[in-house]
Structure 1
Amino acid sequence: MFATVFGCAWIARHDVKTEFTIPQVKELHLVSSYLRKEGNLKNARDIYIVPARWQDSLAPFVRYDEFGTPSSQAAWSAPGLIWAILNAEHSPNVNELKTAVVGPAGQAPKGATIVNLDRALRGLPPIDPKQQN
């Protein structure tokens, strides 16, 4: 009985670590690195967030709508993720932000700073604002 309980606990620990914890930590580091490279963020008042795709998963597999999908894929979590990173890094403009809208890449409003989480999870740098328009 003890061996069965120990085995089940070890498997659960392993699954949580490899399928949730490690991918989430990697995602946080990638998005944080992306935001540091985003030059327009210091003066941003409006942010337009392009969410990640489920195919950008950092987990070993994706199952259903929960297991393995990146947090930055969900429209409701992306603004909170960006705010938490900016707040943790003591960004001076975090309180100056007016809006953080989530939507597809081609629908960004004029003048908004685009944060493309799809690019962030693939390790790509932000697009130069002069090339966006």
Structure 2
Amino acid sequence: MKNSIEGQSGLYIYDVDNKKFHNVISHGSSIWVSPDKTKVIYTQGEVENNKKQLNLYAAKINGNSLTSKICIYKDIHFSGSTNISGAINNAVQWSGDSKKILFFSGNDENLENNFMFMDKNEVNIITFK
């Protein structure tokens, strides 16, 4: 669950045996945990070729850590709304069986009449094995 502990936000996994929280994804990321709580999709800001970009990652939740991390989309521009702090609202949707995600991406943001929209949108569906 995405929370803040001692001022540091992120995705934490609680180890019941050791009574300790483990921060597995750093603050600043948008995080979507699968309905069955076995997988996670998250964003990570990175610099590539001297350009700041947002990449989309997938990982398996394995005990107190994330495994099988993979970048599934580089330099993503989500289509949809952001809130005042810049957080992405409902950008990634999980299927009920936790096997697929759906998200909209696009380029060329336009602002008209105080409404932000993309010139072109892509529907992305990714299936996990």
Q: If the length of structure 2 is used for normalisation, what is the TM-score?
A: 0.24
Report which of the two has the higher share of helix: 1
Indicate the structure whose relative CO is greater, using CA pairs within 8 Å and at least 6 residues apart. 1
Structure (1 or 2) with the larger CA radius of gyration: 1
TM-score by length of 1: 0.24
The structure that is strand-richer by fraction is 2
